[in-house]
Amino acid sequence: MNTEPKVTVAVVPGSFDPLTLGHRDVIVRCAALFDRVVVGILINPDKRGLFTMEERKQIAQLTLADQPNVSVEIDGGYLTDFAERMGAAVIVKGVRTTADFEYEQKMAHFNRTRNPKIETLYLPADEKLTEISSTAVREKLSRGEDLTGLLHPAVIAWLKDRK
Ligand code: PNS
């Protein structure tokens, strides 16, 4: 048996437009399970973006500033190539609903055909946070509504400063 200490790295990928307190909960729980967590901000060609990739990175970093083993990266390529480059053997996705599960299952199958060595794990979303979504945040933003409870307070302050 190989007893060499092994650093385990997990990638939490998504379009994160923007990264919400629901995403944060999944990432923080993931950070307790793995040595290092890389949040991968990737392009989903089926989704029209509101924030630029750099803005999304800034929002993610503000939301996760208190997590020493979490870093944030942007990537324009395939998730499996990104995960491999990060040294990750695991992709973690949060799942809120059965619709999420069906979608993620398709992604996991696709990613597995590209690289069968990288496993996808699902974390069930916290029951109290299942209503939070980036879509809800974008809708509220467009109406100028309060985002308390959906985004990190530092992000809400950053958005106000930006106006
Ligand atoms: O749930 P999201 O936010 O749309 O996730 C985005 C992403 C890229 C993680 C997801 O769509 C996925 O797993 N895609 C697999 C294919 C891939 O690597 N796409 C990126 C370049 S086209």
Q: Which residues are catalytic?
A: 23, 47, 96, 134
What's the confidence (pLDDT) of residue 5? 74
Burial class (CB in 10 A: 0-12, 13-18, 19+), 123: middle
| Residue 43 CA to ligand 1 centre (angstroms) | 7
pTM: predicted TM-score of the whole model, two decimal places: 0.95
Confidence category of residue 160, pLDDT binned at 50, 70, 90: very high
Ligand 1, pocket residues at CB < 6 Å: 13-15, 42-45, 47, 78-79, 107, 110-111
The mean of the pLDDT values for the chain is 96
**What confidence tens digit (pLDDT) does each residue in 110-156 have?**
999 999 999 999 999 999 999 999 999 999 999 999 999 999 999 99
Torsion sign across C-alpha atoms 25, 134, 146, 63: positive
pLDDT digits (tens, 9 = 90+) for 38-50: 999 999 988 889 9
